[in-house]
Amino acid sequence: MSWFLQPLTYEFMLRGLLASVIVGVLCAVMGTYVVLRGMAFLGDALAHAILPGVAIAYILRGDLLVGAGIAAVIVALSIGLFSKQGTIREDTAIGILFAAALSLGVALISSMQTYAVDLSHILFGDVLGVSPADLWLIGGLSLAILLTVGLFYKQFLVISFDPVLAATLRLPAELLRNLMLVLLALTVVVSLQTVGVGLAAAMLVTPAATAYLLTRRLWPMMLVSAVIGALSSVIGLYVSYYWNIVSGSAIVLTATAFFLLAFLWKRVRS
Amino acid sequence: MKKIFITIYLTLLTALVLFACGQPAPDSPAAGPVVLASTTFLADIAQNVAGDRARVESLLPFGADPHAYQAAPADVAKIAESEVLIVNGLEYEHFLESLLENAGGERTVIEAAAGLSPRADAESEHGVDPHMWLDPNLVVTYVENIRDGLSEADPAGADEYAANASAYIAQLEELDAWIVEQVETVPRERRLLVTNHEAMGYFAERYGFEIVDTILPSFSSEASASAQEIAAAVDAIQASSAPAIFLGEVENPDLANQIAAETGVKVIDDLYLESLTDGPPAATYIGMMKHNVTRIVEALK
Amino acid sequence: MTHTPHRLEIQNASIGYGEKIVLRDLSFHVPHGARVAVVGPNGAGKSTLFKALVGLLPLQSGQILIHGLPLGNHLDCVAYVPQREDVDWRFPVTVRDVVMMGRFGQLGWLKRASRRDMQIVQNSLEQMGIADLADYSIGQLSGGQQQRTFLARALAQEPHILLMDEPFSSVDITTQEATLSLLDYLREREVTAMISTHDLNLAATRFDHVLLLNRRLIAFGRPGEVLAQESLSRAFGSSLLVMENGAMLVDECCPPEEEHHHTETK
């Protein structure tokens, strides 16, 4: 058992484990919507799209995370606006806004004076550098987001599957869609602040994609996705400890391995 | 559903078996105080002060770019197990901040540049230039800070540290004199530096170089040079007749090569500004400085 | 004497997307329990009318009244069965899940499905003959079965007005008959049905009202009145061929995705 306990004697490993499991579960659940609605690039896109928010916060000497959060929410709502019923598709809107926001951010940063530090990297966390404050933040936010998803489960299901039915049932479809986009934005920002962009973006897609292959209904898909997210984090972290690899990458590769297993299993079955 | 759980369980089991047989965890601490420095050049400077009493390790490996550095758990474990941690300060280790702060445990942290005032620069609003180590005279203060910090963490060794420090400071003064001598051989009007980013500020100020232009007027790797800035670089080089562009070891040479092609100047891309090398030519801090100065003087003569 | 409001009243409604008006100045009223065939050439605005009735498209002018009150005052009074192409068949839901969604309007935000809801869902599944498919993923179903799933969902909604967009195109005879017997069942319960179709024969024989559209109201009334030469030629223009023996052929030249329809009508 000592190989199991030994890494946990380090505080940073313990916090890293907790953080990656929480992020793993949160991103995996939200990732269900990302995968089903064809928004797989949302994580990566938002991670770059927050750049202008961070730049402006830096110039105003404000809190960078708040700047990032606001930028993310604005971009998310803009995605909703551009892809309103019948205009352009969500993935197209994401592509456009991501490029625009990133360029705006680069322009802002480049116009700043000498010795401006690497702004987006300030925001990107490392799963090995999680502070107690980070844990509280991600824990609290995850709880809030997952509760909201639970509360609006039926509504989110309908607007994702059949927007026309949503209108027929007189659901406030636009409002709900915007709510979902905002929840996604907050999920991405806090996740990448805690564990970095590579890990956050991957956890939004891979566990849910794996779960899609293994389940037939929505809430089992969420459940399996969460389990895979959590397992990938734990296994990945331990592998990174014993094989001396960068932890975030190890977790992503573990999640990918699960996906490949599910993919092969499905092939073999049919 | 059952099949899914069986699959996951088996995978988990396989993985556990694999790494149970894997490599053992990081070594347990050595005899004296365990000292960790953020970079290779700091480690070398500190080792000269620590002498035989303590072994100083570097967190970043040779040639690593602190901005791009990704730590594995073993690296953070080193931080967690250190008793003394030496950083440059002035936000140089900004990207390691979360790792350094959250590794857990307690230690003495020595900020090498403590007490030194950063370069006055009218344009800079945010951040300061941390590259003080490229001026050996400032490194004297580094040495003093390290000596004091080590003595605090390990009072029994205070005398030894003091002696080592004095000896090393003498070497630094020698180095300084040697550099002055070398620079004298470059005609005054050719003491011009064009760099990729703002690293040579303190060096230039100390030894009478003029920094003609910086291609990327920002320390950020997210920044891109605008067309105007590249044009400005070309103009500045042509106006001043600067003979060469100097690049550090972790920099993308494309922009520099572009500008060099336009202006016909040399590109020297093997300066070691932020890291030592494993073996020659920059195996020690003093070696690194000598190598850099030699290359600069050669190019400008 | 009490005046019972008609089930559905359209008054001078104009419907469109932004600047573009697709349906102009519609006025008609549909009584309780009527079964209306909505016909007209492609682009006539049949789907547009349905979208407005469901609340997906705002009215540019005029009004729509259900039970005498403007649209929106009655929660999920109207059920809509879309054309098959509009659905994401790879979504992880079973047949039962889809039909249960029809109850969500009644369920409100926090409540879970009650025993009564589950009973209604079960009844709807049985009514449409797909109870044995209840736990299948929708992606596993045949075309006709998918159609019947959505009919079951509409049924589960317990609507007052049912709208169906081209339910008879490209389905097998079994499904077609199942749909028609569903309509009979609904008529007994005084549910008003509006069905768009290209099949003028069906419109003439199995429906009690016909709404003929071509960007505006051409005619509304009994099939015999509406499906007469004069109104048909106004609706279908040169696609209408009148034979010497009085028979009329409508050639609906459709966009490349659909088949040609040749319908003979008297």
Residues of C in contact with A36 (CB under 8 A): 91-92
Is the pLDDT assigned to residue B124 strictly greater than 60? no
B: neighbours with 3+ CB pairs under 8 Å? Answer: A
User: C70 CB near a chain A CB, below 8 Å?
Assistant: no
Q: How confident is the model at residue B259 (pLDDT cuts 50, 70, 90)?
A: confident
pLDDT tens sequence across C103-143: 887 777 677 778 889 999 999 999 888 999 999 999 888 88
Please tell me the distance from the alpha carbon of residue C165 to that of residue C254, in angstroms, as a whole number: 16
- The helix or strand, by DSSP H or E, that contains position A101, with its residue range, turns out to be helix A90-110
Asked if C219 and C236 count as a contact pair (C-beta separation under 8 A), the reply is no
Mean pLDDT of chain A: 88
Tokens of B84: 């003394």
Which pLDDT band holds residue A181 (cuts at 50, 70, 90)?
very high
Q: What is the mean pLDDT of residues A170-196?
A: 89
pLDDT of A108 above 70 = yes
Residue pLDDT, tens place only, C159-207 = 888 999 888 877 788 888 888 888 888 888 888 899 998 888 888 888 9
Q: Which of C56, C94, C101 sits opposite A216 (nearest CB)?
A: C94
Does residue A230 have a pLDDT over 70?
A: yes
pLDDT digits over C34-59, tens only? 899 999 888 788 888 888 888 778 88
Residue pointed to by tokens 């060794």: B157
Q: Which residue of B has its CA nearest to A231?
A: B12
Which tokens go with B274? 């932020």
Which of A84, A154, A156, A224 to probe the C interface (max C CBs under 10 A)?
A154
pLDDT of residue B10: 66
Instruction: Write the residue in C17, C76, C97 that is nearest to A169 by C-beta.
Output: C76
Residues of A in contact with B90 (CB under 8 A): none
- Give A121's pLDDT tier (boundaries 50, 70, 90): low
Find out whether A229 and A25 touch, Cβ atoms under 8 Å. Answer: yes
What's the burial of A95, exposed, middle or buried (CB within 10 Å: 0-12/13-18/19+)? middle
* CA atoms of A249 and A127, how far apart (whole Å): 10
Backbone torsions φ then ψ of A33, nearest 5 degrees: -65, -40
CB C79 within 8 A of CB A162: no
Count CA within 13 A, CB hemisphere, residue A107.
7
Q: Is the pLDDT of residue B122 over 70?
A: no
- Model pTM score: 0.80
CB within 8 Å: A168 and C76: yes
* Interface predicted TM-score (ipTM): 0.82
Q: Please name the residue of chain A whose CA is at the shortest distance from the CA of residue C58.
A: A167
Q: For chains A and B, what is the number of CB pairs under 8 angstroms?
A: 170
Instruction: Give me the phi and psi of B140, to 5 degrees please.
Output: -55, -45
pLDDT on residue B250: 62
CA triplet A84, A87, A169: central angle to 5 degrees? 45
Summarize the confidence of residues C218-231 as an average pLDDT: 83
A 10 A CB-CB count for B152 gives: 12
Do residues C196 and C164 make contact, with C-beta atoms less than 8 angstroms apart?
yes
Q: What are phi and psi of B284, to 5 degrees?
A: -130, 170
B12–chain A Cβ distance below 8 A for any pair: yes
Work out the pLDDT band at B9, boundaries 50, 70, 90.
low
CB proximity B226 to A under 8 Å: yes
Residue C32: pLDDT band with limits 50, 70, 90:
confident
The reported pLDDT for the residue numbered C238 is 72
Mind listing the pLDDT tens digit for each residue in B209-243? Answer: 988 867 665 444 445 566 777 787 788 888 888 88
Q: Compare CB distances from A164 to C80, C93, C157 and report the shortest one's residue.
A: C80
> Residue C237: exposed, middle, or buried by beta-carbon count in 10 A (0-12, 13-18, 19+)?
exposed
CA dist list (Å): B88 to A72, B18, B70, B85, B204: 34, 40, 19, 10, 20
CB of B281 closer than 8 Å to CB of B169: no
pLDDT at B254 over 50: yes
- Best-predicted range by mean pLDDT (A23-32, A79-88, B128-137, C198-207): A23-32
Of B167, B164, B147, which Cα lies nearest the Cα of B155? B147
Instruction: Find chain B residues with C-beta within 8 A of A113's C-beta.
Output: 123-126, 217-218
Query: What average pLDDT does this structure show over A99-111?
Result: 82
Secondary structure of residue B193 in the 3-state scheme:
strand
Instruction: Give the neighbours of chain C: at least 3 Cβ pairs within 8 Å.
Output: A
Cβ–Cβ gap C56/A158 under 8 Å: no
How far is B35 from B64, CA to CA, in rounded Å?
Answer: 19
pLDDT of residue B16: 57
Query: Would the pLDDT of A261 be above 80?
Result: yes
The residue type at B187:
P
Interchain pair A158, C104: CB under 8 A = yes
Nearest-neighbour CA in chain B from A91: distance (Å): 25
- Residues in C closer than 8 angstroms to A165, CB to CB, are 80, 101, 153
Question: Residues for chain A: how many in total?
Answer: 270
Contact flag for B and A (3+ C-beta pairs < 8 Å): yes
- Judged by CB atoms closer than 8 Å, whether chains meet at A12 and B76 is answered as yes
Nearest-Cα distance to chain A for B165, in Å, is 31
CA distance C85 to A105: 41
Q: Any CB–CB contact under 8 A between C158 and chain A?
A: no
Whose tokens are 């993985």? That residue is: B15
Strands (DSSP E) contained in C105-191 are 161-165
CA trace torsion C33, C37, C42, C44 (10° rounding): -50
Distance from CA of A158 to the nearest CA of B (A): 25
Tell me what the mean pLDDT of segment B266-278 comes to: 87
Q: What is the mean pLDDT of residues C205-211?
A: 89
Beta bridge pairs of residue C59: C15
pLDDT at A179: 94
The span from the first CA to the last CA of chain A, in angstroms, equals 39
Name every chain A residue with its beta carbon within 8 A of the beta carbon of B104.
Answer: 10-12, 15
Cα(B199)–Cα(B237) distance, integer angstroms: 18
Chains in touch with A (3+ beta-carbon pairs under 8 Å) read: B, C
Pull the structure tokens for residue C225.
Answer: 């009145």
Grade residue C97 by pLDDT with cuts at 50, 70 and 90.
very high
Q: What are phi and psi of A211, to 5 degrees?
A: -60, -35
For residue B255, how many other CB atoms are within 10 A of its CB? Answer: 19
Check CB contact of B235 with chain A, cutoff 8 Å: no
